[in-house]
A and B are shown apart, each in its own frame.
Chain A
């Protein structure tokens, strides 16, 4: 009796799936959508193997069988995960990603099967080379920008991490991280300065033409700005800025540096301080004057009954 009950319980999640997930996916999700806590891999890493089935079925990849990406689980899903029995290209790529993808490097490599060109340009990028060549586990791969692989939604949906409304925040996940900034030697002021700039302000109020990080720096094939291949390298800026600012010159394109105020950029820093002093003194004078005059008018009307000083 108890056993029947358990089997019935296992079927409950299946009844919830009304989307396009395939039959095989149902089978995996029967367990993998109801798992609480984490499990320990052979390598000793704690991983989460639970998937929100409903959210998965609504994602762009929701119609896929699990094994399209999780290739090594094709025969016996619970054999210890090994990079075997998968196509040669994916296997060699996966072997370079073991430090990065703790759960399933094959699945991360499997992105390249459909998104081959993008994958190639990512490998050439500063993010990709950091993962593949420098073997850094905190370098950005597909899922770091696009979000958890099972829940990737189309670019134009609000939940997409690379939607225009979210992309700056997504870049900020790493580029505002103090630890990463110290490790890789970039400045955490960049986003702050972007938000203070006219581009950033226009972005914040939802201007459709406001550029975000990726409009100037590109994305999959992103390079360090000093790299001559980067669209924001000095030699490429007139062209990059010129896409919006027709006729941009060398002199014009120096406008944006994302440099912080202060020592590096003293003129605007002290200019702003000076203006604040001017503003506050004017405010103090006008507010003081208005308040004093109002009080004295009330005093004249009420206490001195309309007798004013100035005709005597």
Chain B
């Protein structure tokens, strides 16, 4: 393997970047239009600023629905895109580049936490996606299913009631609304802590990693953060530079 080592490496292509931009735009819209409903009793004079900035609850509801549908379409696009890339062989499964959680990720997490605590001497070596990235990715995937589905039920209550079995009608709506609002809280806190720390606040990333817009990562950062992927892509030679 005597590939010339470039200065930068394309980590995410244009389609993946567009999917990410749609995802976070709709996520922010959904959070800011939905939050007022989470603790409505806290609102002053029947409308907090979170409602007023949208020009009232009705508008906030419309924005929430449009953003929700857009996010779900983005999600469907992402899944279809992945299936297409896999079926045409443009993405191949490899243990060091996959987003699928593997036993190594659990070991990595333990090793990393031991390192944080000063109990381990080495940080784990990550592939294309560390366990931190995988957790970030699958949390969104899970949220998309739970919040997206319950959101559709809530947006179209009469139509969804056709699908519910008659023995569930006494509690299903409570379950759906708890599901939607509690999972949304989880998603917001998750993004605030996990994603914001790991991609914005970290020592070498502040104020943010530019990868989301350029799609590129410098070779130095790649060696440092994704050593296994680097080795796979450029061979061991590059490591000696």
Q: Which residues of A contact B (CB under 8 A)?
A: 165, 195, 197-198, 200-202, 204-210, 245-249, 251-252, 254-257, 261, 265, 267-268, 271-272, 275-276, 278-279, 282-283, 286-287, 289-290, 292-297, 299, 301, 308-310, 312
Contacts and interface: CB of A to CB of B under 8 A. Distances in A.
Interface stretch (B17-25, B74-82, B183-191): B183-191
Interface in B64-93: none
Interface string B49-60: 001000011101
Interface in B137-168: 154, 157-159, 161-162, 164, 166
B170 A204 contact: no
Q: How would you classify the secondary structure of chain B's contact residues: helix, strand, loop or mixed?
A: helix
A221 to B, nearest CB: 27
Nearest to A298: B203
B46 A261 contact: no
B116 A251 contact: no
A249 B41 contact: no
Nearest to A242: B158
Contacts of B183: 275
A287 B43 CA distance: 28
Contacts of B154: 198
A271 B164 contact: no
Given A204-B40, A255-B161, A275-B179, A310 B197 contact: no
Contact of A245 (B47, B61, B158, B201): B158
B1 interface: no
A248 B158 contact: yes
A229 B156 CA distance: 29
B113 A292 contact: yes
The 4 closest A-B pairs by CB, nearest first: A268-B174, A204-B40, A310-B123, A207-B57
A5 B143 CA distance: 79
Nearest to B124: A310
Given A261-B174, A292-B117, A295-B116, A286 B193 contact: yes
Contacts of B97: none
25 contacts: A197-B177, A198-B154, A198-B177, A200-B40, A204-B43, A204-B46, A205-B37, A206-B47, A206-B56, A207-B57, A208-B57, A209-B58, A254-B169, A255-B157, A265-B170, A268-B178, A279-B182, A279-B185, A286-B190, A292-B113, A292-B116, A292-B117, A297-B202, A299-B118, A301-B203
Interface residues of B, number: 57
Given A249-B161, A265-B170, A308 B113 contact: no
Contact of A296 (B116, B178, B185, B186): B116
Contact of B158 (A210, A247, A278, A301): A247
B183 to A, nearest CB: 8
B164 A251 contact: yes
A304 to B, nearest CB: 10
Contact of A165 (B46, B169, B189, B202): B46
A279 B186 contact: yes
Given A202-B37, A255-B157, A267 B171 contact: yes
